[in-house]
Structure 1
Amino acid sequence: MKKKLSIVDIANALNVSKTTISFILNGRAQEKRIGADLVEKVMKYVAEVGYKPNSLAKSLRTGKSNTIGLMVEDISNPFFASIARLIEDRAYKNGYKIIYCSTDNDTSKTQDLINMFRDRHVDGYIMAPPEGIEEDIESLIKDGMPVVLFDRHLPGVKTDVIEVDNLFSTYNATRHLMDQGFKNIAFVTFASHQTQMMDRVRGYQDAMKSNGLRPTIVKEIVFNQDEEQIMGPLRDFFKGNPDVDAILFGTNHIGTCGLKIMHEMGLKAPTDIAVISFDDYDVFKLHSPPITAIAQPVEEIADNVITVLLEKLNDRSSSPKLQSIILKTDLKIRNSSLKNAI
């Protein structure tokens, strides 16, 4: 294998000190009063031999890698994928590259990924965090690393957070179903103690209580990478609750699984069961009938996340006030939840 050139090799070939070569390659020639002729000579040689700097070594010298670690629950999920794409575009325009990864809401995996990002000297972290990594994030903050959380927060961890108003979102959606005359309304979601999920359940429960409807039906299903492990409990829920006339799904993933089970069982929305899902999705717009959805402001979330992180990266000297930004969602009402569409 051909030996990779180093700064020392270039210095020896041109009979110039490695410190001078380093200053030139790092754009500090003018600052160090290095002559233009020497700069031209070095840059010409570098181009001829095809020298590529070691980015990790450079980050150790400069203290910056110009990379950001982005950790989400599942990068294939349309919600997270859309946000990641927008963050990447904005970051790139500001001189940063993004390294993505999926945590699968697994605490141990997330801790391993944080260590990987540390080894690669990323400049900042953006996370939709699972439970159990509070100490890991506090350690990053203690070491001066900017950390921005989004989609959910970790109680007790003091850092910047961008979220939506989950509680009002499900309260509002449940009230919409009530206004349409549905009474046996169920909330179906993944089992989770994460803040966004707990708020979504609470919003649904508060709406049910406000209208004196009993009982509240909450079905929590354990997340599994094997979709059939999600479909099975959903199938049992539909069979075991024939009186349910409306369902609010807590995420787009469980919403699409629920629609598959309804199709399998010959159930139609809203004739048999009215349907609303959290997180809008192109599939919901194309479904027959189109599915009512709680649309999160994806562009606004991404813009706030990267803006807050860039502010921290560009001003490490000060201690800016921590920001907790809560954004509004939009209930996209479509035929799946309208009784007059029956």
Structure 2
Amino acid sequence: MAKKKTSIKDIAKSLGISITTVSFILNGKAKEKRISEELTLKVEEYIKEVGYKPSHLAQSLRLGKSKVIVFMVEDISNQFFASIARKIEEKAYKSGYKIIYCSTDNDPEKAKALIDTFKVRSVDGFIITPTPALESTVLELLEEEFAVLLFDRWIPSIDCSYVVVENEKSAFEATSHLIQNGCKNIGFITVESDQIQMIDRLQGYGHAMESHGLKKNVFMLPFHNLSEFGASSKIQQYIQKNSDLDGLFFATNYLAFEGLQALNSLKKRIPEDVLLVSFDDHYFFTLFQPNISAIEQPIESIAEKLMEGMLMLLEDDESSKPDYKVTLPNILHIRESSDYKI
């Protein structure tokens, strides 16, 4: 059972004073209302002792909404996040809201600092791609009754609204496509990450391989500083070491870019020598020769559902927020890089 939150009424009852007096002190009006410093200090100390946090919803009802939503992602310059940000901005403006963008670099400390900054500026809601170790911060936002909507990834341990895509199912479909075209030795190239969407993609690949009685072959690169790490040369070494690879599945488009460079250096022909699929489509894939098969995330639908969910959370006047959990299907675009029978 969840622990009951301390309310202003509880504070007033415990200290033997009126709810109005507590409210004045919490809102910085003690001097204006001629409340003694002694009583003010007593209330402030008690608040710290019980860990009371004011309800953002209650403050919004008193002070009026800011009509500002924070869009906090891993990297706003990334094409996927930037495309969604642009569409969200259009939809938010039509509903009378403005968007603040920021990047966390997947750094939990930076994410927490940004959230603390925006909280004191009374923003109305947060759309967040959560970093690792952000559970307690998200819980605090929910306890303070901010509108919170996670996307791209969710936190299994927290009951929070989210919009995500079918990562595992799509990875299974892409791997099965390679197998159906004759691949028996498929390498899955991903990053070392405990992010739920990356885990799901790995599981989708693994389940497809297992269901066809094939051996898994996973190559993981460090999550950060791929260029400094020499990702392309590391992928090249991996391919050379596994000379029997006849298929490659890249967990992200930026890994696919590094992989294409590695294959070019090795003079490997696509699709004659190796079939290739990438998760997360990119306009470059239709320009590259041969065109690269890829899983497209539904950017328009994601943006639509994010704003629909956020507005639902913001417009709900009850202390308990509505349950909004959406999982959207992706599209596998089969192009020249995998449309070939081995």
Q: TM-score, normalised by structure 1?
A: 0.79
Match of 1:304 in 2: 305
In structure 2, list runs of 5 or more residues that go unmatched: 1-59
Are residues 1:217 and 2:217 paired? yes
Are residues 1:234 and 2:235 paired? yes
CA drift of 1:60 comes to 11
Counterpart-to-counterpart distance in 2, 1:116 and 1:81: 22
Match of 2:38 in 1: none
Say if 1:320 and 1:110 are closer, same or farther in 2 by CA, change over 3 A: closer
Match of 1:254 in 2: 255
Match of 2:201 in 1: 200
- Provide the secondary structure at the position in 2 that maps to 1:336: coil
Instruction: State whether residues 184 and 245 of structure 1, in contact with CA within 8 Å, keep that contact through their aligned partners in structure 2.
Output: yes
Instruction: State whether residues 246 and 275 of structure 2, in contact with CA within 8 Å, keep that contact through their aligned partners in structure 1.
Output: yes
Match of 1:74 in 2: 75
1:109-130 deviations in whole A, cap 9, x for unaligned? 1111111211322110001111
CA drift of 1:228 comes to 3.6
Counterpart-to-counterpart distance in 2, 1:192 and 1:241: 23
- Provide the secondary structure at the position in 2 that maps to 1:125: strand
Counterpart-to-counterpart distance in 2, 1:327 and 1:208: 24
CA drift of 1:63 comes to 3.6
Counterpart-to-counterpart distance in 1, 2:131 and 2:141: 16
Counterpart-to-counterpart distance in 2, 1:271 and 1:163: 35
1:186-225 deviations in whole A, cap 9, x for unaligned? 11111111111111101100000110012x0111111223
- Provide the secondary structure at the position in 2 that maps to 1:227: helix
Counterpart-to-counterpart distance in 1, 2:135 and 2:88: 24
- Provide the secondary structure at the position in 2 that maps to 1:309: helix
Instruction: State whether residues 233 and 262 of structure 2, in contact with CA within 8 Å, keep that contact through their aligned partners in structure 1.
Output: no
Say if 1:270 and 1:305 are closer, same or farther in 2 by CA, change over 3 A: same
Counterpart-to-counterpart distance in 1, 2:228 and 2:337: 24
The count of aligned residue pairs is: 282
CA drift of 1:333 comes to 0.2
CA drift of 1:94 comes to 1.0
Counterpart-to-counterpart distance in 1, 2:225 and 2:123: 29
Match of 2:27 in 1: none
CA drift of 1:265 comes to 2.4
Match of 1:83 in 2: 84
| 4+ residue segments displaced more than 4 Å | none
Match of 2:244 in 1: 243
CA drift of 1:328 comes to 0.7
Counterpart-to-counterpart distance in 2, 1:104 and 1:286: 29
Instruction: State whether residues 278 and 294 of structure 2, in contact with CA within 8 Å, keep that contact through their aligned partners in structure 1.
Output: yes
CA drift of 1:71 comes to 0.9
Q: Percent identity?
A: 43
1:45-92 deviations in whole A, cap 9, x for unaligned? xxxxxxxxxxxxxx9983422111111111111111111111111011
- Provide the secondary structure at the position in 2 that maps to 1:339: coil
Match of 2:274 in 1: 273
Are residues 1:100 and 2:101 paired? yes
Counterpart-to-counterpart distance in 2, 1:102 and 1:232: 28
Counterpart-to-counterpart distance in 2, 1:209 and 1:338: 22
Counterpart-to-counterpart distance in 2, 1:312 and 1:323: 8
Say if 1:72 and 1:131 are closer, same or farther in 2 by CA, change over 3 A: same
Instruction: State whether residues 281 and 297 of structure 2, in contact with CA within 8 Å, keep that contact through their aligned partners in structure 1.
Output: yes
Counterpart-to-counterpart distance in 1, 2:267 and 2:118: 48
CA drift of 1:174 comes to 0.5
Amino acid at match of 2:301: E
| Backbone CA RMSD of aligned residues | 1.7
CA drift of 1:318 comes to 5.5
In structure 1, list runs of 5 or more residues that go unmatched: 1-58
1:202-257 deviations in whole A, cap 9, x for unaligned? 1100000110012x011111122352413343232222222111111001111111
Counterpart-to-counterpart distance in 2, 1:239 and 1:107: 37
Match of 1:130 in 2: 131
Match of 1:30 in 2: none
